[in-house]
Structure 1
Amino acid sequence: MRLTQNPKESDNLKTKTKALKKQCETTEQKLEQEQHKLTRLQNRASYLKKAQRKQRNKRLILKGVAVETVMPDTEYLSQEDFYSLVEQIYQLDSVQELVEKVTEKYRIIEDGD
């Protein structure tokens, strides 16, 4: 076993060590960048999901307001009674036909996307 190294081997080892440290730093920087990108993407997904929820809530509220405007007495119904009423109304053939007719153009638009 040799205790001393010649200067050439020592310089070569130092060069390799520096190169490996530099490579490690570069890799760590890339990892941090990718983690930051992932965080941004997760935040974006969360933002979009919240926006969709807000749009849905707004739509439901506006439709509820429309129902109470057209049928003010429904304000006093329990949720169960209201659903029952809506189901009974929807069972009427004329209502089903009207809903089909009115929503048809939206289905065509959606299918065209």
Structure 2
Amino acid sequence: MSGVTRRQEQVLDFIAGELRAGKRTPTYDEICAHLGLKSRSSAHYLVAFLIEAGRLRKVGTRELQLVGGAEDHLRAVLEALSRTSGSSLPAVRRAQEFLEGRPMPTFHVIPYAGAA
């Protein structure tokens, strides 16, 4: 994950795991306990940064929502493929280039000759 520290990534992974398991957003105390943080203000700072960075979104007064689903999903798929022979496929290489910020090639749609 680019743009976040290792600790911020750990917080995001913990929150994401709880939400994906169908649980509620963890409290600052639960984040502290899970990561071994000593103060709730540290957990608050880490969560606030993730909100500011656009990785989490506040919903209501207490709940959080993950942001960036499609890109994160693509990264996870590419990571899984990198452990197999699928990483050599041209489509995989193009997707990795897209995530690195390189422009995607343009495709032109040619109408079917029989179409009216």
- TM tier, smaller: under 0.3
Q: Which has the higher strand share?
A: 2
TM-score, length basis structure 2: 0.23
TM-score, length basis structure 1: 0.23
Which structure's CA Rg is the greater one? 1
The higher-RCO structure (CA 8 Å, 6+ apart) is 2
